[in-house]
């Protein structure tokens, strides 16, 4: 039997699932990143935990990088492309009433039909985009 590699996606997914479960079980909140970020600006009383959650995302990657001697993947896109991609993702989360973590992790776990439709849509579009960029465009 092959031992699971907890240092990569499996470990990150387990921690994200645990965080989402704890947020819902202990505070009745959905751990969707777009909702947490939006709440930083709209609900001042909730700002401390929201900022801690958001700052923990890059801090976790930074800690992993230090402990593991680097990150396993490097970005090949320019800063301008990353900014445009981020804006498109932000527009998509507004249009879809939530993000991949909110719908794909929390919504599916709650058996939300709306989250199932949203997750199927963004996964299908992601697969089509990768196909076009790898096999259709030069």
Q: pLDDT digit of tens for each residue in the chain (138 aa)?
A: 666 666 667 777 888 888 888 888 888 888 888 888 888 989 888 899 899 989 988 898 888 888 888 776 777 888 899 889 888 888 888 887 888 778 888 888 888 999 999 999 989 998 999 999 999 987
Domain membership of residue 69 (yes or no) is: yes
Domain membership of residue 64 (yes or no) is: yes
Domain membership of residue 39 (yes or no) is: yes
Inter-axis angle of helices 79-95 and 33-42, nearest 10 = 90
Predicted confidence at residue 2, as pLDDT, reads 63
Give the C-alpha distances (Å, rounded to integers) separating 47 from 19, 52, 117: 18, 8, 30
Predicted confidence at residue 131, as pLDDT, reads 95
Predicted confidence at residue 37, as pLDDT, reads 86
Predicted confidence at residue 60, as pLDDT, reads 83
Q: How many domains does the chain have?
A: 1
HSE-CB for 61 with a 13 A CA cutoff:
9
Domain membership of residue 20 (yes or no) is: yes
Domain membership of residue 2 (yes or no) is: no
Quote the CA–CA distance of 76 and 53 in Å, as a whole number: 27
81: containing domain: 9-136
Predicted confidence at residue 8, as pLDDT, reads 65
Predicted confidence at residue 99, as pLDDT, reads 80
Domain membership of residue 118 (yes or no) is: yes
Identify the residue whose tokens are 């909140």.
29
Q: Say whether 99 sits in a helix, a strand or coil.
A: coil
């Amino acid at each position: 039997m092959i031992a699971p590699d907890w240092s990569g996606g499996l470990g990150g997914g387990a921690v994200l699932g645990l965080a989402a479960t704890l947020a819902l079980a202990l505070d009745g909140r959905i751990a969707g990143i777009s909702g947490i970020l939006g709440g930083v600006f709209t609900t001042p009383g909730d700002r401390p935990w929201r900022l801690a959650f958001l700052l923990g995302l890059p801090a976790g990657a930074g800690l992993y990088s230090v402990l593991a001697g680097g990150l396993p993947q490097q970005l090949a896109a320019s800063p301008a492309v990353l900014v445009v991609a981020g804006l498109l993702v932000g527009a998509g989360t507004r249009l879809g009433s939530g993000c991949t973590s909110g719908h794909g992790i929390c919504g599916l776990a709650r058996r939300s039909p709306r989250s199932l439709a949203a997750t199927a849509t963004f996964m299908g579009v992601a697969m089509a985009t990768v196909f076009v960029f790898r096999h259709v465009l030069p």
